[in-house]
Structure 1
Amino acid sequence: MYLGVAYYPEHWDKRDWERDVRLMKEAGLNIVRLAEFAWSQIERTEGQFSFEWLDEVLDLLAKYGLKAIMCTPTAAPPPWLTHKHPSILPVDQNGVAMSPGSRRHYCPSSPIYREYAGNIVQQMANHVRDHDTVIGWQIDNEFGCSNTARCYCDNCLAAFREWLKRRYGNINALNEAWGTDFWSGIYNDWNEIPIPRKTTDPHHPGLLLDFYRFASDAVVEFQQLQVDIIKRVAPHHFVTHNMIASSQQIDYYDLTKGLDFASWDSYPKPELQPLRSEVRRVALWHDLFRGLKEKNFWLLEQRCSTSRAKGGYATPPEPGLARLWTYQAIAHGADGIVYFRWRAAKSGAEQCLGGVLSVDGRPTRAYDEIRQIGEELKILAPHLHATTVPTEAAITVSYPVQWAIALQPSLFGPGFSFHQHMSRYHRAFFDAAIPVGIVNPERELNKYKLVVAPALFLTNETILQNLYRYVEQGGILVVTARSGVKDWNNKAATSSLPGGLADLLKIRVDECDSLLDHGNEVETSIPGLSAQRYTCQTWCELLQPEGASVLARYTQGYFAGGAAITEAAYGKGRALYVGAEIAEERFYSGLIRWLAAEAGLRPLLSDPVDDVEAMRRIGSDTQLLFLLNFNLHEERTVNISTPHRSLLNDRLYASEVTLAPGGVEVLSPCQ
């Protein structure tokens, strides 16, 4: 288990360095992230490389027994490079080149920039490959941050056309896949295809979705260029990238294929919503990033102090939150956590934000909290080794599906958000204390007992075969409204909705309603939800069963009496279709608890408690139950089914655990 900090020694006087490293060691840290934006310090002028300062820092880390993660500094090309080659600057959808002077100001498709980026990575890898302190690399920084994954420059136009040639082979195949006969858009030559800069009306949906795919692939290629260099020079080093939750511009399944494990940057914002809601939001992202490679992950930036929040300067996290956030990440599968940042910045765009140390070098409250965590992890690390998070339930998420939904929001009800829709199901699992994975619908699903496939707007043969096979072999599947609407090229299905899913679900969608000027309700016979009405919002579909049984019906308007939720037997399993977006959270909670019981899923807690999160990690001979009380002001008591012993304080709990306000317990079952 690694616990560390992001450190920028190049910003500080050398006389501070040893004290910094000593304080890191005293806090129980064992790894430090370096050189993230240090291109100017390493290559101040073209071709003149200087590593003396970096060597001094690495030697200091070695002296105190700490390891290092090197960062490739390609997120911030230096001024000499953008001045010499302004063509590397990204261009926005209006055709305007971005100015240098910030970060992420480069086009990932630029051949010139790829050459310079490869060179700096090669120089760094050659220099540190034999330094025992360095164990791994972070590629670049936060691809897609500030909506920078999509560039509309001439380099991208040429690369996009080549990408399309590889995808379709000939222009007629492209015309057929997109359906370019609409609006007189048939192409005769690849050079006629535009990049989707701003135009009079929306660009063709097929072109837009493929451009999004191309832009994502360009970032993946840019990353892989760097990965290949490092793996060739230093194959003993791990390679990862610090992804962010806020960017949906990159297909993270593709981005992580070439990485040893996924990593992300976690900045909880309890200032913006109730803490319980924020806890569930962060849990979802942990599950998503774990699911990218279906293995444990790292946090390469974890908030521990004052940060920025939407609308202004964020307040410092309350005492105990940094510890809770740390254990929440570990409970969800984090094997490494790096706090951002070691010392508050004294200049630049992020100055005056918090750090483990204040800008004057004084340890803050966060330092004391991290030191406590460091002491505790000395006890827990042997137990955490080689453990993973077992899940028997899953929610599917596809990036092309999300892009297609975002491209044509008018095909959904007002205010529809895929993320909010999917989150409702995740919250239901969270509140029921049932661990859940977030996975790619194109991967095998048969290890799960219960799968939710929300708003599967696009489908392809791989997805369809996966879902049919999953249910046929005994799985329980929930599909939600607006599924099977289009093919993988973003062209409408020519069969009745839900398209290729119709035979599995045994329904037909007769009509759809976005509820613009009226409402509707459903009444259901689902156990635990019966004798209650639930409010439809955003979208509802009138379903015609064609072999499915009806679980809920509409009660209002000309939809009244019509099917809203159905269930169909298929092979050894069952497939449900939820044809309406329901407003009440209790609906999703009741649905998931019922289906979990039907699937034989056992919650981690028989009686889940508000404010308490439960998660589990297991190994070949290890079982760890994490209990986190996110109520910072009141105790919470949790019932456990069998005696457990605390790994933190060796206390024996027979049947219940009382957690202090903000309390954490890590329990192992008694033998």
Structure 2
Amino acid sequence: MYIGVDYYPEQWPRERWDTDLKLMKELGINVVRIAEFGWSVMEPEEGAYDFSLIDDAIAAIESYGFDVVLGTPTATPPAWLIEKYPDVLPADDHGNVIGFGARRHYTVNSEVYQQLTKQIVEEMAKRYGSHPAVIGWQVDNEYGHEKSDRSYSETDRKAFQSWLQEKYESLDELNERWGTVFWSQTYTNWSQIPVPKKVYQEHNPSLLLDFDRFCAEAYNRYNRLQVETLRKYIADRQFITHNFVYSGLSQDQKEMAKDLDFISFDNYPVWGGLADPISPAAIARQHDLCRGTKNGKGYWVMEELSGAQGWSQIGYLPRPGHLKLWTYQAISRGAEAIVYFRWRAARYGTEQFCHGILDHDGKPRRKYNEVKDVITSLEGFADQWIESEIPADVGFYHDPENDWAWQIQPQSDQFNYIGEFLRFYEPAHSLNAQGNIIRDDEDLSRYKVVVVPVYFLTKKTFNDRLKDYVANGGTVIFSYRTGVKDEDNIVTDQTLPGDLAGLAGIQVHEYESLRGGKSGRVKGVAGAVEGLSSSASVWCDYIEPETAEVLATYEDSWFQDRAAVTKNKYGEGTVYYVGAGIESPMLQKLYASIFEETNLTYTETAENVELVRRESEEASYLSVLNHDVEEGHEVALPEGEWTDAASGEKHTGVLEIPRLGSLVLEKRKQH
């Protein structure tokens, strides 16, 4: 297994390198990522390449027995490039040019920038494509991050118009599918179509969705440019990856991943401005997205938080135990390598307060010792652990286009796509029921339950597959606002939930957006939720059951006893519809009953205790992770004797897990 650090030799005196590398050797790492922000070091002026610093850095790293991952430096175009080619700069949605001074200051639609990218990547690949210490490449850095996913410059406008012309072929087709007759928006020339800069009201939702698709495809092409350039020169043994960000960007990571050997991810459970880490379920969701991006293939965490993070604001200081906990959680859910960000906190520049394994004084202390303990603990079992499979019984549907449609029309000021996805992911996570995050190309039959949250923008092919899945015995959980739009972001002319009304056995004649501090109340009237009560936020679908059974109703003077949660038999399967943003305790009870009905494995634990199972032919593995910063908890172990994979200690029955405790238990299989 690879465990390493992100290092910036160009930011430190050469006489410090040896000290750093000795400390890394004592730490126990085996890989170092470098160069992803080093364009001005390698090409100080156009066409004049100077690889001496990178040559010396790789030689020094190699001398200590470490492997190297090289980053292509295209996330930080140098000052000379911007001065000479200012048209590569992106523009915001007001049309203001984003200037030089930070990073990601380019538009992927600039042909000039594409050529300059190809040149620097080609020169790097020629020089290091056969280097014995270089095991792989990271292209660019965090595509689309910091709002760089969408650009509105004149270059982008022309590229968008060309993209639309290729997609629709005729303006008649575009006008029809976008409904441009509304507000006299009919286009008679491709050149009339704008990029969606700020207007008095809001742009056509169909235009906005296509713009997001265009932006995503533009990044795919830009990534492919780098990958194809590298492939011409690098050895077959060298991999190509990219470190993704999963935060609702106009990026299609799954499509981009087709050109990569595997994907990578930057894992920051807490960041500047956050008083506390995000929830365990929120971290788990991101890891599950990584695993799903390449259809279950393992991934690298190319940046794993190792200290308090922030730029102008500094976030929460990870407590003793957090680094091991987050490392173990990542590997449990599919990470095959961990690279800690960063080796040492920078003394200058924007990331001065991104603290690393070492702080500004460069002296090893608690965090260094904690990472060393993590690496030591993994010796002897990590390779077998990461080669084992992650069984999954639940499929959680996620489509970035649905996310984009919600960003265009959130409909409630309480709505946040990730937050609402988590509303329907977290109950399964709390019950330790394992799942995969899936797209519409997944084989649904492998799952006992499929959860389809806030399915606003629908895809007909996926609708049909859901119908077949349920008819053949599957179970689906829908949420409010299901079935509203088609793929062109046009509202259905069928009674809601549109094409899925028969499947759910309901109709929705009225609904309400809950804004500000408004909320409703829902009471359980049947099944596992009978007698329970919950507040309802964000949205209320007032459901008219047809063939569905009512499980919960609203408590409201105007809509008293209207259905809020229903259950419908369809063919051999079952469909649940949750019409409001009800709270986790009620959803968890509902999920538990669904899991029991479907014979799905789940385990109830104390809040903030996470269990993750993995299986190989030789052994079963159980990760026990306590995210509670205040208290230890008891965990009832599955039947049999379990061995702590790190210490060899035996456990049966009930395990005491301390606050921020993390361990991996192993049970060998009998053959």
Per-residue CA distance 1:156-184 (angstroms, 9 max, x = gap): 11111111112112111111111111001
More deviation in 506-515 or 520-529?
A: 520-529
More deviation in 19-28 or 123-132?
A: 19-28
Per-residue CA distance 1:364-407 (angstroms, 9 max, x = gap): 32111111111122222232242232211121111111111111
Q: Matches of 2:83 and 2:518 in 1, distance apart?
A: 57
Q: Aligned pair 1:482/2:481, yes or no?
A: yes
SS at match of 1:537: strand
Q: Which amino acid aligns with 2:137?
A: W
Q: Give the Å deviation of 1:353.
A: 3.2
| 2:328 match | 327
| 1:278 match | 279
| 2:405 match | 404
Q: Give the Å deviation of 1:247.
A: 4.7
| 2:188 match | 188
Q: Aligned pair 1:306/2:303, yes or no?
A: no
Q: Aligned pair 1:70/2:67, yes or no?
A: no
Q: 1:587 to 1:633 in 2, by over 3 A?
A: closer
Q: TM-score, normalised by structure 1?
A: 0.95
Q: Which amino acid aligns with 1:609?
A: A
Give the conservation status (yes or no) of the 8 Å contact 1:180–1:186.
yes
Q: Give the Å deviation of 1:202.
A: 0.8
Give the conservation status (yes or no) of the 8 Å contact 2:477–2:575.
yes
Q: 1:41 to 1:14 in 2, by over 3 A?
A: same
Superposition pairs of residues 348-367 of structure 1, within 5 angstroms? 348-367=349-368
| 1:658 match | 656
Per-residue CA distance 1:308-347 (angstroms, 9 max, x = gap): 18x8222431111111111111111111111111111121
- Alpha carbon RMSD of aligned pairs, Å? 1.9
Q: 1:354 to 1:518 in 2, by over 3 A?
A: closer
Superposition pairs of residues 292-441 of structure 1, within 5 angstroms? 292-293=293-294, 294-308=296-310, 312-409=313-410, 412-441=411-440
Q: Matches of 1:275 and 1:515 in 2, distance apart?
A: 27
Q: Matches of 2:96 and 2:249 in 1, distance apart?
A: 22
Give the conservation status (yes or no) of the 8 Å contact 2:241–2:261.
yes
Give the conservation status (yes or no) of the 8 Å contact 1:6–1:341.
yes
Superposition pairs of residues 160-179 of structure 1, within 5 angstroms? 160-179=160-179
Q: Matches of 2:626 and 2:532 in 1, distance apart?
A: 32
More deviation in 284-293 or 80-89?
A: 284-293
Q: Matches of 2:438 and 2:518 in 1, distance apart?
A: 36
| 2:647 match | 649
SS at match of 2:60: helix
Q: 1:444 to 1:177 in 2, by over 3 A?
A: farther
Give the conservation status (yes or no) of the 8 Å contact 2:150–2:212.
yes
Q: Which amino acid aligns with 1:661?
A: R
| 1:94 match | 94
Give the conservation status (yes or no) of the 8 Å contact 1:36–1:73.
yes
Q: Which amino acid aligns with 2:37?
A: F
Q: Matches of 1:243 and 1:174 in 2, distance apart?
A: 32
Unaligned 5+ residue runs, structure 2? none
Q: 1:327 to 1:183 in 2, by over 3 A?
A: same
Q: Aligned pair 1:609/2:611, yes or no?
A: no
Q: Give the Å deviation of 1:549.
A: 2.2
Q: Give the Å deviation of 1:526.
A: 4.4
Q: 1:417 to 1:316 in 2, by over 3 A?
A: closer
Give the conservation status (yes or no) of the 8 Å contact 1:442–1:466.
no
More deviation in 243-252 or 103-112?
A: 243-252
Q: 1:261 to 1:526 in 2, by over 3 A?
A: farther
Q: Matches of 1:421 and 1:385 in 2, distance apart?
A: 31
Give the conservation status (yes or no) of the 8 Å contact 2:393–2:447.
yes
Q: Matches of 2:248 and 2:422 in 1, distance apart?
A: 16
Q: Give the Å deviation of 1:55.
A: 1.9
| 2:494 match | 495
Q: Matches of 2:59 and 2:524 in 1, distance apart?
A: 67
- Identical aligned residues as a percent: 36
Q: Give the Å deviation of 1:150.
A: 0.7
Q: Aligned pair 1:244/2:245, yes or no?
A: yes
SS at match of 2:613: strand
Q: Matches of 2:154 and 2:248 in 1, distance apart?
A: 24
Unaligned 5+ residue runs, structure 1? none
Give the conservation status (yes or no) of the 8 Å contact 1:240–1:261.
yes
Q: 1:414 to 1:91 in 2, by over 3 A?
A: closer
Q: Give the Å deviation of 1:271.
A: 8.6
Q: Matches of 2:318 and 2:343 in 1, distance apart?
A: 16
Q: 1:535 to 1:338 in 2, by over 3 A?
A: same
SS at match of 2:607: coil
SS at match of 2:387: coil
Q: Which amino acid aligns with 1:131?
A: H
How many residues are treated as equivalent by the alignment? 665
Q: Give the Å deviation of 1:563.
A: 2.1
SS at match of 2:183: helix
Q: Which amino acid aligns with 2:60?
A: L
Q: Matches of 1:547 and 1:421 in 2, distance apart?
A: 27
Q: Matches of 1:315 and 1:489 in 2, distance apart?
A: 42
Q: Matches of 2:195 and 2:278 in 1, distance apart?
A: 40
SS at match of 1:451: strand
Give the conservation status (yes or no) of the 8 Å contact 1:71–1:139.
yes
Q: Give the Å deviation of 1:632.
A: 4.1
Per-residue CA distance 1:248-298 (angstroms, 9 max, x = gap): 232222232222222211112289778685323212211122222232221
Q: Matches of 2:638 and 2:321 in 1, distance apart?
A: 28
Q: Matches of 2:614 and 2:203 in 1, distance apart?
A: 47
Q: Matches of 2:629 and 2:173 in 1, distance apart?
A: 60
Q: 1:220 to 1:270 in 2, by over 3 A?
A: closer
Q: Which amino acid aligns with 2:623?
A: F
Q: Which amino acid aligns with 1:220?
A: N
Q: Matches of 1:291 and 1:168 in 2, distance apart?
A: 31
Give the conservation status (yes or no) of the 8 Å contact 1:474–1:574.
yes
Q: TM-score, normalised by structure 2?
A: 0.95
Q: Which amino acid aligns with 1:441?
A: D
| 1:550 match | 550
SS at match of 2:19: helix
Q: Which amino acid aligns with 1:8?
A: Y
Give the conservation status (yes or no) of the 8 Å contact 2:271–2:309.
no
Q: Which amino acid aligns with 2:345?
A: A
Q: Matches of 1:439 and 1:18 in 2, distance apart?
A: 46
